[in-house]
Structure 1
Amino acid sequence: MNRAPIYFVRHGETDWNAEGRLQGQRDTPLNRKGLAQAAEAGERLRGLLGDGLADLPYLASPMERTRHTMEGLRTALGLDPAGYVTDPRLREIGFGAWEGLTWKDVRRSDPARAQARDRDRWGYCPPGEGAESYAMVAERVRPLLESLDRPTIIVAHGGVARAVMVTLGAASREEAPHLEILQGRILVFEAGGRRWA
């Protein structure tokens, strides 16, 4: 896809992030560090884009941790905290029955499925209702990405970032599931590549 830049922000830290728990589509609030990361992301955006930030589209996953991150970064930019749109296609990958567990818990309680996922991180779908593979998330976000026609700020999740990378040709299916997605930083997608800001 040849497109305008996307400024992607992963939500700030939650207690479940700090504990290494799979959040998936569970709603979890930002912790104190996560609130600070939201403001930090706003300052980084100001440094990247300067003036004109008020005129860009702002899109967020409808989950609490992403909405509060968006509101924190918009506040740091001096913008109306509520001046953004949510899109359900940006919600986090569903981990089904594994949500709330750590990877250590999964490997102990469900070793065969954990090994199957290790063999195919991109295509594997965990057990349970609402579970998805990264490939399924990529299909979910593709129409949204194709609809963007100007620079856009997106606040979403680590799993969504990996799906966006592959969809935009900025990472391979083999590479993306293994990449760390930082909190409080900006992942810039432009000209078929990616960089952290």
Structure 2
Amino acid sequence: MTQLRAEPFWFLRHGETDWNARHLSQGRTDIPLNETGLTQARLAGRQLAELFETGARPFTHIVSSPLKRAFVTAEHVRDAIHERTGIRLPLTGDEDLQEVSFGVQEGKPMGDWYNTWIDGTFVPEKGEDFITLKTRGIQALNRAHDAGEGAPLIVAHGALFRGLRAAMGLEINVRLPNAMPLKASPEEEGWELKLLSA
């Protein structure tokens, strides 16, 4: 089993989409950000750019899911940092950071099946199981550490982050808000997650 490297990283879930607002399962369906999501992405970009204005380099590169709701969010962060500091961070995509495939459940309301999917007793038809998601998420994050000299910023999805939470030994089924940056740090007593408040 692939192990998550015990190195700090930043994570940002994409901004809101219409399907998020309607509580529909998105999975791999490539839904764009809505107006709220674009506003959230811009705000996250400003929040993160402020960290760089102090002269710090909290992360050195951005690695994103290629799905447009995540990649556009990542572009807003990159551009905000560049506009405010002159620093242009490299932004790349990684296919393994895509959201889980929920198969036939995509476009349908989220339901009680989600908990059984996490515990491995249910996989939607034509969907991806939780262990596979967790494994590719770990592999993508480990690659992201190698893609730059410092910590990466990962821009991706809610279910994928649940896979990373599982890899960190944390409670799994915790909903991460849209476009709210967090820092993950390995500590002696386990991983610490700290949201960057607005």
CA RMSD of aligned residues (A): 2.5
Task: Please state if 1:146 is matched with 2:153.
Answer: no
Q: 1:15 to 1:134 in 2, by over 3 A?
A: same
**Residues 119-158 of structure 1 aligned to structure 2 (within 5 Å):** 119=116, 121-129=118-126, 131-147=127-143, 148=145, 150-158=150-158
| TM, length-normalised to structure 2 | 0.81
User: In the aligned structure 1, how far is the partner of 2:192 from the partner of 2:11?
Assistant: 13
What is the number of equivalent residue pairs in this alignment?
Answer: 181
> CA offset at residue 176 of structure 1?
1.1
Unmatched 5+ residue regions in structure 1?
108-113
Structure 1 pair 49/118, CA: closer, same or farther in 2 (3 Å)?
same
* CA–CA distance in structure 1, aligned partners of residues 195 and 59 of structure 2: 23
What corresponds to 2:165 in structure 1?
A: 165
* Whole-angstrom CA distance in 2 between matches of 1:118 and 1:166: 14
Give deviations 1:174-197, integer Å, cap 9, x for gaps. Answer: x312x1111121121112221211
- Equivalent residue for 1:189? 184
Inter-partner Cα distance in structure 2 for 1:83 and 1:27:
23
Paired position in structure 1 for 2:15: 12
1:195 counterpart SS class: strand
Q: Which structure 2 residue ranges, 5 or more long, are not aligned?
A: none
C-alpha displacement of 1:9: 0.4
Mapping 1:50-61, distance limit 5 Å:
50=53, 51=55, 53=57, 56-61=60-65
Amino acid of the structure 2 residue aligned with 1:18: A
Mapped to 2, the partners of 1:66 and 1:194 lie a distance apart of 20
Per mean C-alpha deviation after superposition, the further-off stretch among 159-168 and 42-51 is: 42-51
Q: CA deviation at 1:40?
A: 1.2
TM (normalized to structure 1)? 0.81
Quote the sequence identity (%).
Answer: 30
| 124 and 39 in structure 1: CA distance in 2 versus 1, 3 angstrom threshold | farther
Q: 1:54 to 1:161 in 2, by over 3 A?
A: closer
SS in 2 for 1:138: helix
Indicate the structure with greater helix content: 1
Answer yes or no: is 1:89 the counterpart of 2:96: yes
Change (3 A) 1:55 1:95: closer
